[in-house]
């Protein structure tokens, strides 16, 4: 092999190496971009998980708030029925007492 052939081959190898270095830099940049994307997706997934938990808590609170008027109405009905029954029993007892008092005279 002559010096000229060696010089030509060396020049070709240098050109190859420069090309490979450039391609490697591009590959490293793409790898960094992909890594940033993976981290962003992971952060998004964590945020979504936290939001789902918060949504569940909010749903439970809303269910309790929606049930409160119905529970209050039921309590009011029970109190009214108990009062009515108490008044009837009281009236009946009073009537019995009055009838007994007249019978004893």
Place of tokens 């962003």: 40
Q: Is the pTM of this model over 0.95?
A: no
Cα(75)–Cα(83) distance, integer angstroms: 12
Quick: pLDDT tens for 31-58. 999 999 999 999 999 999 999 999 999 9
Residue 28 Cα distances to 22, 24, 35, 54, 67, angstroms: 10, 6, 10, 39, 58
> Closest Cα to residue 63, out of 73, 71, 51, 53?
71
Cα(51)–Cα(45) distance, integer angstroms: 10
Quick: pLDDT tens for 74-104. 899 999 999 999 999 999 999 999 988 887 7
Place of tokens 């309790």: 64
């Amino acid at each position: 092999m002559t010096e000229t052939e060696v010089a030509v081959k060396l020049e070709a190898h240098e050109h190859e190496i420069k090309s490979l270095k450039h391609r490697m830099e591009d590959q490293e940049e793409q790898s960094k971009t992909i890594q940033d994307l993976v981290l962003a997706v992971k952060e998004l997934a964590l945020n979504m998980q936290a939001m789902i938990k918060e949504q569940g808590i909010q749903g439970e609170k809303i269910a309790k708030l929606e049930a409160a008027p119905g529970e209050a109405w039921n309590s009011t009905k029970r109190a009214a029925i108990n009062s009515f029954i108490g008044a009837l029993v009281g009236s009946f007892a009073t009537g019995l007492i009055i009838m007994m008092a007249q019978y004893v005279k």
